[in-house]
Amino acid sequence: MLKITSTNQALNFLAKPLLPIAILAGVVSVTNVTTAASVKNNTLTAATPTAAAAGVLKKGDRGDNVKELQNWLIKAGFYTGTVTGYYGDVTQTAVKNFQQAAGLTADGIFGPATKTKLTSVNSNILVVGSKGEEVKKVQQRLQKLGYSKVQVDGIYGKITEEAVKAFQISKNLPVTGTVNFHTSIALGS
């Protein structure tokens, strides 16, 4: 049995495509691996130190930063896949779609400009419990579009949520009940 006992060894072996199979088969054991690589449930994963340090994520990356990105993309309405922590085709496509909608270069790489824009978009998402002028604007727009049960009071409650869901259905948007990036654009707000 081959034993991997250091982070450097783990990173060198990560490039070998059969390593995960070897770990699962019990041919390789991994111990004392920390920081850039770790083992959970017999699966070796590693962050890409240069990418993580630079704040850049791209196809092939794995880890908690990718999970966080996937959750951000879900919140913004661009990712409907499972949160896996793997930056594969689905995540890359979601990033490209977000970049294109946000007016950024659609290269599928999650860098500083994309992070800034996605953070900004997610801070403007309206959900049940939100209050203020932005909520009033959405309520006014919904009323103007015929969702007359909505009361313009600046409080995002159940009635506003139901109106948003009905609007999302009418526009073939993901039905979340939240005013995310896609819904905001469709409302014209």
Question: Are both 36 and 93 inside the same structural domain?
Answer: no
Number of domains in the chain: 3
Residue 86 covered by a domain: yes
Pair 58, 110: CB distance under 8 Å: yes
pTM here is 0.56
Domain boundary among 123, 151, 166: 123
- Express each pLDDT in 120-165 by its tens digit: 888 788 999 999 999 999 999 999 999 878 899 999 999 999 999 9
pLDDT at 16 over 50: no
Q: Tell me the pLDDT band of 67, cut-offs 50, 70 and 90.
A: very high
Q: Which residues partner with 39 through β-bridges? A: 44
Domain boundary among 82, 105, 123: 123
Structure confidence at residue 75 (pLDDT): 86
Question: Are both 60 and 115 inside the same structural domain?
Answer: yes
- Express each pLDDT in 25-62 by its tens digit: 444 444 433 333 344 444 434 333 334 445 899 999 99
Residue 128 covered by a domain: no
Question: Are both 61 and 116 inside the same structural domain?
Answer: yes
State the residue range of the domain holding 161: 133-187
